[in-house]
Amino acid sequence: MMDQITQPVLVVDEVRCRANIRMMLGKARDFGARLRPHFKTHQSLETGRWFREEGVDAIAVSSVSMARFFAADGWRDIMIAFPVNFREMEEINRLAGVTDLGLVVSCQHSAAMLPGKMSTPADVYLKIDVGSHRTGFDPDRPEELRLALDRLAEDAHLRIRGFIAHAGHTYQSDNRQQLLEVFSAGRQALLGLRESFSSVHAGLMVSWGDTPSCWLSDDLANLDELRPGNFVYFDTMQLDLGVCTRDELAVTVAAPVVALHPEREEVVVYAGAVHLSKEQGMGKNGKAHFGRVVFYDAQGRILWPGQDLFVERLSQEHGIIRMPREMIMDLRPGDLLGIVPVHSCLAADLLRETYVVRAGP
Amino acid sequence: MMDQITQPVLVVDEVRCRANIRMMLGKARDFGARLRPHFKTHQSLETGRWFREEGVDAIAVSSVSMARFFAADGWRDIMIAFPVNFREMEEINRLAGVTDLGLVVSCQHSAAMLPGKMSTPADVYLKIDVGSHRTGFDPDRPEELRLALDRLAEDAHLRIRGFIAHAGHTYQSDNRQQLLEVFSAGRQALLGLRESFSSVHAGLMVSWGDTPSCWLSDDLANLDELRPGNFVYFDTMQLDLGVCTRDELAVTVAAPVVALHPEREEVVVYAGAVHLSKEQGMGKNGKAHFGRVVFYDAQGRILWPGQDLFVERLSQEHGIIRMPREMIMDLRPGDLLGIVPVHSCLAADLLRETYVVRAGP
């Protein structure tokens, strides 16, 4: 089992992933929404197949390359939930011929450029900025949205499907209540737009992304589609935000110990910025860190230490862990430690190969 | 030329790289030191071949995988400048059979474990902590070093070569003077160790890493080997530290524009955390950023804007650039912007494919 691991690798617990998928799928069905999970989190054919086996048939991705990758594995309903990249129109057209492809337009300049670029029909969604201010149309300037819709409607190859939003700012919430308020206000804005444009464009739907809202809210009513991604794996960020429990957490990075420095209470592992990413978390002590440290049993089950342990510093391949001297005395170079990444999507992107365990809760 | 670029890609200027290589090689020769460039920066066979063509035949890497990668391209003198990972002894032994392999031991626990593990001879270096406190032996505790040397000497397959240091803390310097003081103190510690152990272990050499010291110092005397890596490409960190000039900077990340938001003076590009890494730089305004923004001419030559422009925020694939409204009015979705990464080693790791231009200074 874990003995086979020689280098940093993403350890994925299939039992927990499938439980997370079933939970989210059940919730979507309860509210009559379609689950279109965001596959940018895992970028893994195997994890993708677990979704398929649980009944998912539509997905979101965040690049044309990812769309190609999953289309080649048989996925036939793929939304590229990223503003259309006009430098890839040739590949976008090719993909639209082999899968039901969804494109996203997030500013009026792109809306003006897209008509005439597709030789094959594709779905088009307008991205609405519900407050994260990353990109998208401002819901308080509906005249721009109207103009964009009118322009896109000129091209019969562009099937206008509706509005999508990603409330990335839920991640800045201090607590669950605040998080749910962010969700509630954003959904209200999205539903308001659907209402006000329904007379001009019939059948517009609304699609909502972000794991914290979808996982925590008890009320997902009136949304046609849910696009969370992170929930399949979760990570330190979600744990610390109170979104998931330790039993729902499904990934760690296995890190070989390469040096012991008990005299300064530090352990060096082979797992650096090129494995964990430099995404920073914040400990309760107000110190930035690059992941929580756990132990494994022989089957890869996570064993939580009795106290918080963090990766304090990172170089390209080195991770520096702060650990009490007496715990270090039990370690040897070559042992494996587990690191719960701060942001699992970035760790999964860096560690494309996954090592699957079946530990369960 | 640049028209062929469809996705984020590392744009490497061969003319500038070769000039940087020649400069560093000339300096090493002037001081009678061997240049063993660190190939973790580029991890590119093509960039590696430019080094070979300029006369380099020994390299450093930071993982067993990188050693395998470059050994397969004909490199025959490779130091794995990372604490030995005991989980990869099988591959380490195989590599020692096909190349002159150097291993690094950075704590007494590893020194105690290594004897008996090699079936093929390999060079061994002891890592000295000259102040960055990442890993390595404390030069102020020579008895530990003596013990480690004695243990390693028990195994005739382990050829003890000397001491290596990487002054990673030069990067925390506020100015050139401070940086050179860090270098000077570290070198002194290293030379002191060579002196004090010379009677017991004959022929010990000292090897020094880090681009700021090697590039800036006018006095590299008494060092047997130099292992800088970043100087071949440089980056925003080195620019802002005053190590390199704009004319020496040899890499950018080409980023397609995917949305324009002139109303809030922001441009969204396809270049996110999975292309640039989340390494943060610090602007003169005290605000963190993820890279400096430049323009390109048709041949990929860097055109510096009249004012500082930064990537202010990153998502997985999105980069958000702050830019004055009037500059945004000249852009269209699909245009290319250049981003000088904060840390080129991480960007190069993420963007393994390079797009080579020959612009020169």
Parent domain of A62:
14-233
Mean pLDDT of chain A: 96
Q: Of B232, B263, B287, which residue sits at a domain end?
A: B232
Beta strands in chain B, from DSSP E residues, in sequence order: 9-13, 34-35, 59-61, 77-83, 100-105, 122-127, 158-166, 205-209, 225-226, 251-261, 266-270, 281-282, 288-289, 292-296, 302-303, 311-314, 318-322, 336-340, 354-357
Domain count within chain A: 2
- What residues of A are in contact with residue B316 (Cβ under 8 Å)? 40, 62, 345-346, 349
Q: Are the beta carbons of B227 and B209 closer than 8 angstroms?
A: yes
Is the predicted pLDDT of residue A331 greater than 90, yes or no? yes
Whether residue A118 is contained in a domain is answered as yes
∠ CA B307-B267-B308, rounded to 5°? 15
Cα dihedral A312→B244→B131→B80 (10° resolution): 80
Residues in chain B with CB shorter than 8 Å from the CB of A281 are none
Q: Which residue has the higher pLDDT, A173 or B290?
A: B290
Predicted local distance difference test score (pLDDT) of residue B195 = 94
Last residue of a domain, one of A233, A257, A277: A233
- Which residue from B263, B334, B346 is facing A273, i.e. has the nearest CB? B346
Q: Which CATH number is A151's domain given?
A: 3.20.20.10
Measured distance CA(A80)–CA(A103) in Å, rounded: 6
Contacts of B177 (CB under 8 A, 6+ apart): none
Cα–Cα dist B344/B253, whole Å? 9
Q: Which residues, other chains included, contact A117 with Cβ-Cβ below 8 Å and sequence gap of 6+? A: A86, A89
Residue B240 lies in a domain: no
Chain B residue with CA closest to A105: the answer is B259
Q: Measured between alpha carbons, how far is B334 from B341 in angstroms, rounded to an integer? A: 20
Q: Are residues A92 and A124 in the same domain?
A: yes
In Å, how far from its chain's centre is CA A28? 17
Helix axes B45-54, B14-30, angle to 10 degrees: 40
Q: What percent of chain A has pLDDT over 70?
A: 100
Q: Residue A173, SS3? A: coil
Q: Which residues pair with A208 in a beta bridge?
A: A165, A226
Residues A50 and A29 in one domain: yes
Same domain, B183 and B330: no
Q: Is A330 on the interface with B (CB under 8 A)?
A: no
Residue A50: half-sphere exposure toward Cβ, Cα within 13 Å: 21
Q: Are A213 and A170 in contact (CB under 8 A)?
A: yes
pLDDT in tens, chain B (361 residues): 799 999 999 999 999 999 999 999 999 999 999 999 999 999 999 999 999 999 999 999 999 999 999 999 999 999 999 999 999 999 999 999 999 999 999 999 999 999 999 999 999 999 999 998 999 999 999 999 999 999 999 999 999 999 999 988 888 888 888 999 999 999 999 999 999 999 888 899 999 999 999 999 999 999 999 999 999 999 999 999 999 999 999 999 999 999 999 999 999 999 999 999 999 999 888 899 999 999 999 999 999 999 999 999 999 999 999 999 999 999 999 999 999 999 999 999 999 889 999 988 7
The interface predicted TM-score of the complex, written ipTM, equals 0.97
C-alpha B73/C-alpha B52 separation (Å) is 11
Q: Is B166 helix (H, G, I), strand (E, B) or coil?
A: strand
pLDDT in tens, A36-59: 999 999 999 999 999 999 999 999
Contact A107 B332 (CB under 8 A): no
Residue B29 sits at the chain A interface (C-beta within 8 Å): no
Q: Which of B192, B209, B232 is the last residue of a domain?
A: B232
User: How far does the CA of residue A336 sit from the closest CA of chain B (Å)?
Assistant: 9
Instruction: State the Cα–Cα distance between residues A358 and A301, nearest whole angstrom.
Output: 8
Chain B residues closer than 8 Å to A64 by CB: 7
Same-domain check for residues A176 and A252:
no
Q: Is the pLDDT of residue A202 over 90?
A: no
Whether residue A331 is contained in a domain is answered as: yes
- Residue B128 vs residues A111, B67, B166, B207, B223: alpha-carbon distances, Å: 58, 22, 8, 10, 14
State the nearest Cα–Cα gap between B64 and chain A, in angstroms: 9
B159 φ, ψ (degrees, to nearest 5): -90, 105
Chain A residues within an 8 Å CB radius of B82: 258, 270, 317-318
Residue B313 maps to which CATH number?
2.40.37.20
Strands A318-322 and B336-340, how do they pair?
Answer: unpaired
Is residue B75 located within the same domain as residue B181?
A: yes
The answer to whether B226 faces chain A, any CB pair under 8 Å, is no
Strands A302-303 and B311-314: unpaired
**Contact criterion met (CB below 8 Å) for A63 and A43:** no
A261-270, pLDDT tens digit by residue?
999 999 999 9
A222 and A146 in a single domain? The answer is yes
A48 and A123 assigned to the same domain: yes
**What is the pLDDT averaged over residues A197-211?**
92
| Domain contains B222 | yes
Q: Is B258 in contact with A84 (Cβ distance < 8 A)?
A: yes
DSSP category for residue A50: H
Strands B122-127 and B100-105: parallel
From CA A187, how far away is CA A221, in angstroms rounded? 10
pLDDT recorded at residue B356: 96
Query: Is B239 a domain residue?
Result: no
Distance between CA atoms of residues B247 and B19, nearest Å: 10
- The position carrying tokens 């794996």 is A233
Question: Comparing C-alpha atoms, which of B76, B36, B63 is closest to residue B209?
Answer: B36
Q: Which residues of B touch A345 (CB under 8 A)?
A: 316
Please report whether residue A238 resides in a domain: no
Residue A171 in this model has a pLDDT that exceeds 90: no
CA atoms within 13 A on the CB side of A141: 12
Q: Is the pLDDT confidence value at A175 over 90?
A: no
Q: Are residues B205 and B262 in the same domain?
A: no
User: Is residue B27 located within the same domain as residue B130?
Assistant: yes
Which two structure tokens, joined as six digits, stand for A204? 């517009």
- What does A257-279 look like in DSSP terms, one character per residue? EEEEEGGGTEEEEE--HHHH-S-
What percent of chain A is modeled with pLDDT above 90? Answer: 91
Pair (B203, B256) in one structural domain: no
Closest CA to A340 of A310, A307, A314, A297: A310
Same domain, A44 and A160: yes
Residues A283 and A336 in one domain: yes
Cβ-in-10-Å burial (0-12, 13-18, 19+) of A1 comes to exposed
Residue A192 lies in a domain: yes
Instruction: Count CA atoms within 13 Å of residue A154 on its CB side.
Output: 13
Q: Measured between alpha carbons, how far is A47 from A354 in angstroms, rounded to an integer? A: 9
Domain-embedded: residue B237: no
Q: Are strands A9-13 and B302-303 parallel, antiparallel or unpaired?
A: unpaired
SS3 A244: coil
